[in-house]
Structure 1
Amino acid sequence: MPAFRAALGDPEGFPDCLLGVDFLGCGDRPLDIAIRCGPPHFVAALIAAGADPRAGAADGFPPLFQAIDAPREDRHAVLAVLLRAGADTEQRGLNDGTALHHAVWRRDIVAVRMLLAHGADITARTRIDDLSTPLEDAEAMGFAEAVALMRPAPSPPRARR
């Protein structure tokens, strides 16, 4: 951890600080960098050191969204670290969607399963654009696997007496 902090220029507020903030207020946190390219145990170590797995993101990509999009084969292991650390499955990001919306939009069935297992709300509705739920988006996209996971099973018929 000290080497990573030094490599970042010993920023004040490490590990929960913004780096390279642009005119829109966008920037990376050390956790963002780790989510994209650090091993899962390093992501966990940053969180243990004080990085916030619920951090907001001016660019629309809070930690869970970044893990879903991470260009890495072990992205689901990183997603699991964030979820175990208390990342908010209902946090809003890109297009006012939740992480479950994002996983559906990316057609990532593993992430959909993981988010549902951590209580993600299938009825959360975006408040802009299509005003849709993750289930409605999955149905519109023809993402049958996700629909099957989110649609409640029909009740068995009642036996007649």
Structure 2
Amino acid sequence: MKKIVAVLTFVIVLVSCQEQQKIAFVDNTEVVSKFDKKVDFEKTFQVKIDKFNKKADSLQQAIQIEAQLFQTNSASMSKKNAETQYQALLQKKQMQDYQLRAEEQSLNAEGQKELDTLVKQVKAFVKEYGKKNGYTYILGSNDAGSVLYGAEGNDITKAVIEALNSESKEEE
């Protein structure tokens, strides 16, 4: 009987001495959206978008003016001449649309590439943050539900955002 009690005591001591795992979670969306580099990128990228939109509007207005002018003058033109000018105007509009689509796709690709880079940077930072602060796991919380519940005390989102932005400023 003494041996059983001794073994049970030994097992209880071992279990109670087992290292506790440090687990926390962060709101992925909030960390990325409040990352200063992302906020700055969005501001500068919005300038590019606005510039593109102004250019597109300007080109659209110019082609509309040409179309109105053609419509006004077409009645006094020969049928062949009117058809030729109409085809030229149509081709010009198609080329303009193609150019604008290509520029828009390029702009979208540039924006997505930068966002992907920022997300990778955040992930790498969270990994290092976890190592430095002794976390066994840092889970990501988002709308998809990877963390359905977490005690508020385990939410390190604000601390990670502050540390991330602080480190980012030091790099500049």
The structure number with the bigger radius of gyration is 2
> Which structure dedicates a bigger proportion of its chain to helix?
2
Higher-RCO chain (CA-CA 8 Å, sequence separation at least 6): 2
TM-score strictly above 0.5? no
Normalised to the residue count of structure 1, the TM-score between the two structures is 0.22
Q: Report which of the two has the higher share of strand.
A: 2
TM-score normalised by length of structure 2:
0.21
